[in-house]
């Protein structure tokens, strides 16, 4: 669908709604299910991850499919009385039903009361809508509020019984009152038609059988694409390095990214360096859109300004390294609140993810997040009463120094093996020793290619049986002090059993770390890491444990002696790659690395070069020969189209190929005359080759989108791996 696709209630254009294609497809499929089991899907998400927008986008997609179910979106309002929520639910349901049946999106903004809405319903719906409204009048809130609530929230069931099948999407469930939650639970536990519930991920309610999953943050590539789209639309200069910093520093959170880019556009900012990005970021946390975003959340949780100040101070103190664990009772006394009021505040702070709660302990937010930066800035200004200009200046200097370290830590984390996931896949498999013991590997296989190594390893030689792991965690979760010497993703602890008898003495703990060394790891480095991991075992009181070190190039002969003395294992990165393949174990997400970019000049048959390149890429990722030919043909047509429809100042075609597990996405863009400026004259299939080329692209690929950029056109094509 083109960028100009119809929009009703969504607030984000479909080109900016990135990274959610699969879950959107899942919701659309669920809406069309005749007898779904279970009928409900519960999607939970961290604040700002775009759950509301996902449901609104689903509504808009379904609205223009008149043969499908009636899409109904309802968002609960904070502080709304039960009667107000039920009446608004009933009114919105009737309004959206009438608008869908009439296929008139303008009716969604209808301002009349519910009776006026009913009068414009299609004849086939008039009977059941009138009966529903009559029932509500009889069971009015004045006579029986509980009966009214149940009737109102049960309206989709009554409609379904009269042939008006709907797809109900409830948003912000955590904002509903207790009475509303009771009735919603009672009604939706009886639903046999598809519905979706959306809430913050730390909100819980029992009584409804649903399939629940968490909406994850955007991936690195998707966040980058969103930033690039916003940058192009607002003409904000942006470098790739700055794009990556924005994505990482804002936690891949689409809401915060959007706020940041809006402010950058308002300031006419130039985001082509880390320093310029951090200048905008500093403004944001000291009073910009991001600061106002967090302030609004805090104001809803704690309306009293004095209480807000105490909360900010307490959360700041909780993050100090010398504070230790903050107990709930200590926090209550610090905030000077009664038990009931404190419990409500704590629950709200937890749902908003200003804190985490573990038993009676308060866990502060991670140290390098926009929320923490906002709280730190507010504490300095409000509690310590520092000079505002000096505080902002000092903070900006800290942020500029932090930026390279932030990116270095991110790149290291994403290049990590994923030891926790690898250990979790251990399940009494028998493996060749050469896949985990570097000494055996070095003597027999170093220098051979992967296929030769695997064939020779499977042909014979010593073998070992892995333990059965029942629990794996990052080491820092058990021994926080290790974070001073190694990143979170580079060390893991796994608890399990040597044999399947599960007897006393059969348990074992593996403690693993991925260490750095340009050459084979030395004796000194190996001793250092064995000491660190043995300290973990000592602090955690592990009696039967085994150390496992992984170094990029393996271990020197002296280092292997240390490993033997400690009863430890040592592996190279090559061995780990082979072991992961042998076990079929999960690995860290590397989808963002499967990207290829190419710039070719227009003319001189350079589209043939592009076709040859995409053929090699598609073969590498195991696309079928027929699909490869279709992709090549579509790409050639897109390149020709870009050249013929452009008065490009640089006479270049920009191409980007992104390969995922089940698809390849090709983007072809150019500068110059935009396609929509010529559309009425040249994009007509009856007018020769140009229109025919676009038609051919659509016939060869699974998806084709034509998008207008500020100074040109972008064609995006998707081919799925069938």
| 650: CATH | 3.30.565.10
Residues 371 and 443 in one domain: no
- CA–CA gap between residue 488 and residue 482 (Å, rounded): 9
Give me the mean pLDDT over the 490-499 stretch: 92
Indicate the range of 76-80, 294-298, 703-707 predicted with least confidence. Answer: 703-707
pLDDT given at position 196: 95
- CA–CA gap between residue 398 and residue 189 (Å, rounded): 52
In terms of Cβ atoms closer than 10 Å to its own Cβ (0-12, 13-18, 19+), residue 572 is buried
- CA–CA gap between residue 418 and residue 78 (Å, rounded): 41
pLDDT given at position 684: 45
Higher pLDDT, 537 or 711: 537
pLDDT given at position 267: 95
Mean pLDDT of the chain: 85
Residues 167 and 58 in one domain: yes
Categorize the per-residue pLDDT at 380 as very low, low, confident or very high, splitting at 50, 70 and 90: very high
pLDDT given at position 678: 42
Categorize the per-residue pLDDT at 137 as very low, low, confident or very high, splitting at 50, 70 and 90: low
Indicate the range of 97-111, 338-352, 673-687 predicted with least confidence. Answer: 673-687
Query: Is it the case that residue 54 has pLDDT exceeding 50?
Result: yes
Residues 73 and 176 in one domain: yes
- CA–CA gap between residue 197 and residue 41 (Å, rounded): 6
- CA–CA gap between residue 136 and residue 148 (Å, rounded): 6
Categorize the per-residue pLDDT at 5 as very low, low, confident or very high, splitting at 50, 70 and 90: very low
Residues 624 and 702 in one domain: yes
pLDDT in tens, 538-597: 999 998 999 999 999 999 999 999 999 999 999 999 889 888 888 876 554 444 457 788
pLDDT in tens, 263-272: 999 999 999 9
CA distances from 15 to 29, 227, 308, 358 (A): 21, 12, 38, 40
Categorize the per-residue pLDDT at 323 as very low, low, confident or very high, splitting at 50, 70 and 90: low
Domain boundary residue among 361, 385, 409? 385
Categorize the per-residue pLDDT at 618 as very low, low, confident or very high, splitting at 50, 70 and 90: confident
Query: Is it the case that residue 329 has pLDDT exceeding 60?
Result: yes
Residues 573 and 605 in one domain: no
Pairing of strands 507-514, 545-551: parallel
Give me the mean pLDDT over the 67-92 stretch: 92
Categorize the per-residue pLDDT at 523 as very low, low, confident or very high, splitting at 50, 70 and 90: very high
Whether 391 is covered by a domain: the verdict is: no
Give me the mean pLDDT over the 456-480 stretch: 85
- CA–CA gap between residue 345 and residue 161 (Å, rounded): 42
pLDDT given at position 545: 94
Residues 445 and 496 in one domain: yes
Give me the mean pLDDT over the 691-700 stretch: 81
| 63: CATH | 3.40.50
Do residues 53 and 18 touch, judged by C-beta distance below 8 A?
no
| 499: CATH | 3.40.1340
Residues 349 and 479 in one domain: no
pLDDT given at position 3: 32
Positive or negative, the CA dihedral 621, 625, 631, 637 is positive
Query: Is it the case that residue 213 has pLDDT exceeding 80?
Result: yes
- CA–CA gap between residue 605 and residue 644 (Å, rounded): 13
Query: Is it the case that residue 73 has pLDDT exceeding 80?
Result: yes
Whether 409 is covered by a domain: the verdict is: no
CA distances from 68 to 36, 174, 186, 299, 484 (A): 15, 29, 27, 41, 56
Query: Is it the case that residue 382 has pLDDT exceeding 50?
Result: yes
| SS3 readout for 194-236 | CEEEEEECCCCCCCCCEEEEEECCCCHHHHHHHHHHHHHHHCC
| 344: CATH | 1.10.10
Token digits of residue 684: 């007509």
Residue in 292, 293, 312 with CA at minimum distance from that of residue 302: 312
CA distances from 429 to 404, 464, 565, 579, 585 (A): 42, 8, 25, 11, 12
pLDDT given at position 371: 93
Residues 558 and 609 in one domain: no
Domain boundary residue among 554, 583, 612? 583
Whether 544 is covered by a domain: the verdict is: yes
Domain boundary residue among 583, 604, 625? 583
Token digits of residue 13: 């254009």
DSSP 335-397: HT--HHHHHHHHHHHHHTTSEEEETTEEEEPPSSSHHHHHHHHHHHHHTS---HHHHHHHHHH
Q: What percent of the chain clears pLDDT 90, i.e. is strictly above it? A: 45
Q: Please list the helix, strand and coil fractions of the chain in percent, rounded to the nearest 5, in that order.
A: 50, 15, 30
- CA–CA gap between residue 29 and residue 14 (Å, rounded): 19
Categorize the per-residue pLDDT at 622 as very low, low, confident or very high, splitting at 50, 70 and 90: confident
Give me the mean pLDDT over the 94-118 stretch: 85
Give me the mean pLDDT over the 486-492 stretch: 90
Quick one: which H or E segment has residue 244? helix 240-249
Residues 309 and 363 in one domain: yes
DSSP 461-504: S-EEEPPEEEEEEEHHHH-GGGGGTS-GGGEEEEEEESSTT--T
Determine if the peptide bond prior to 3 is cis (ω within 30°): no
- Total number of domains constituting the chain: 4
- CA–CA gap between residue 391 and residue 385 (Å, rounded): 10
Categorize the per-residue pLDDT at 686 as very low, low, confident or very high, splitting at 50, 70 and 90: very low
Residues 336 and 433 in one domain: no
Categorize the per-residue pLDDT at 461 as very low, low, confident or very high, splitting at 50, 70 and 90: confident
Positive or negative, the CA dihedral 14, 16, 17, 21 is positive
Put the strands of the sheet holding 326-327 in their side by side order. Answer: 326-327, 361-364, 355-358
Q: What is the DSSP letter of 15?
A: T
Indicate the range of 58-72, 201-215, 294-308, 438-452 predicted with least confidence. Answer: 438-452
Whether 485 is covered by a domain: the verdict is: yes
Whether 130 is covered by a domain: the verdict is: yes
Residues 208 and 318 in one domain: no
Whether 258 is covered by a domain: the verdict is: no
Residues 48 and 189 in one domain: yes
Determine the structural domain holding residue 118 and report its residue range: 21-215
């Amino acid at each position: 669908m083109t960028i100009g696709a119809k929009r009703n209630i969504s607030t984000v254009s479909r080109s900016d709604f990135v990274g959610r294609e699969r879950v959107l497809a899942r919701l659309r499929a669920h809406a069309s299910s005749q007898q779904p089991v279970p009928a409900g899907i519960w999607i939970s998400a961290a604040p700002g991850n775009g759950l509301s927008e996902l449901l609104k986008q689903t509504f808009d997609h379904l609205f223009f499919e008149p043969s499908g179910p009636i899409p109904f979106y309802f968002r609960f309002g904070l502080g709304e009385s039960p009667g107000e929520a039920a009446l608004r639910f009933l009114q919105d349901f009737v309004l959206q039903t009438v608008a869908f049946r009439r296929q008139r999106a303008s009716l969604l903004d209808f301002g009349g009361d519910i009776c006026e809405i009913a009068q414009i319903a299609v004849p086939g719906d008039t009977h059941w809508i009138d009966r529903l409204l009559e029932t509500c009048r009889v069971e009015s809130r004045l006579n029986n509020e509980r009966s009214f609530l149940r009737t109102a929230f049960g309206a989709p069931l009554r409609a379904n019984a009269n042939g008006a099948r709907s797809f109900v999407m409830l948003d912000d469930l955590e904002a509903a009152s207790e009475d509303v939650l009771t009735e919603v639970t009672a009604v939706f536990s009886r639903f046999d038609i598809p519905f979706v519930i959306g809430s913050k991920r730390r909100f819980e309610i029992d009584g409804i059988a649903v399939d629940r999953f968490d909406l994850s943050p955007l991936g690195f590539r998707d966040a980058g694409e969103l930033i690039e789209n916003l940058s192009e639309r607002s003409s904000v200069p942006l470098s790739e390095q700055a794009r990556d910093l924005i994505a990482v520093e804002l936690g891949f959170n689409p809401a915060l990214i959007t706020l940041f880019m809006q402010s950058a556009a308002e300031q006419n900012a130039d985001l082509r360096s880390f320093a310029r990005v951090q200048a905008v970021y500093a403004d944001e946390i000291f009073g910009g859109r991001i600061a106002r975003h967090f302030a609004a959340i805090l104001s809803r949780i704690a309306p009293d300004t004095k209480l807000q100040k105490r909360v900010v101070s307490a959360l700041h103190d909780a993050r100090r390294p010398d504070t230790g664990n903050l107990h709930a009772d200590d926090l209550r006394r610090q905030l000077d609140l009664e038990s009931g009021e404190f419990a409500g505040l704590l629950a709200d702070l937890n749902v908003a993810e200003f804190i985490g709660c573990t038993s009676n302990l308060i866990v502060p937010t991670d140290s390098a997040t926009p929320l923490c930066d906002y709280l730190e800035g507010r504490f300095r200004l409000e509690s310590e009463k520092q000079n505002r200009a000096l505080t902002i200046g000092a903070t900006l200097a800290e942020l500029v120094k932090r930026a390279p370290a932030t990116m270095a830590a991110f790149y290291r984390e994403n290049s990590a093996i994923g030891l926790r996931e690898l250990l979790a896949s251990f399940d009494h498999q028998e493996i060749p020793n050469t896949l985990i013991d570097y000494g055996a590997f070095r003597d027999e296989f170093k220098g051979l290619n992967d296929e030769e190594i695997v064939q020779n390893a499977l042909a014979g030689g010593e073998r070992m049986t892995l333990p059965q792991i029942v629990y794996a965690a990052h080491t820092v979760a058990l021994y926080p002090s290790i974070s001073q010497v190694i990143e979170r993703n580079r060390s893991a602890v796994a608890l399990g059993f040597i044999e399947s008898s599960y007897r006393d003495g059969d348990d074992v703990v593996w403690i693993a770390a991925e260490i750095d060394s340009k050459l084979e790891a030395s004796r000194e480095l190996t001793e250092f890491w064995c000491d660190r991991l043995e300290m973990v075992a000592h602090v955690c009181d592990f009696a039967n444990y085994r150390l496992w070190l992984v170094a990029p190039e393996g271990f020197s002969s002296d280092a292997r002696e240390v490993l033997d003395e400690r009863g430890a294992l040592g592996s190279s990165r090559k061995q780990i790659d082979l072991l992961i393949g042998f076990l079929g174990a999960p690995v860290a997400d590397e989808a963002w690395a499967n990207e290829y970019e190419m710039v070719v000049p227009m003319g001189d048959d350079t589209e043939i070069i592009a076709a040859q390149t995409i053929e090699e890429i598609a073969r590498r990722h195991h696309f079928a020969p027929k699909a490869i030919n279709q992709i090549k043909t579509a790409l050639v047509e897109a390149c020709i189209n870009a050249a013929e429809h452009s008065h490009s100042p640089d006479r270049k075609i920009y191409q980007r190929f992104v390969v995922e597990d089940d698809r390849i996405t090709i983007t072809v863009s150019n500068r110059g005359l935009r396609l929509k400026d010529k559309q009425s004259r040249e994009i007509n299939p009856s007018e020769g080759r140009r229109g025919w080329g676009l038609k051919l692209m659509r016939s060869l690929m699974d998806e084709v989108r034509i998008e207008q950029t500020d100074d040109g056109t972008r064609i995006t094509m998707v081919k799925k791996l069938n």
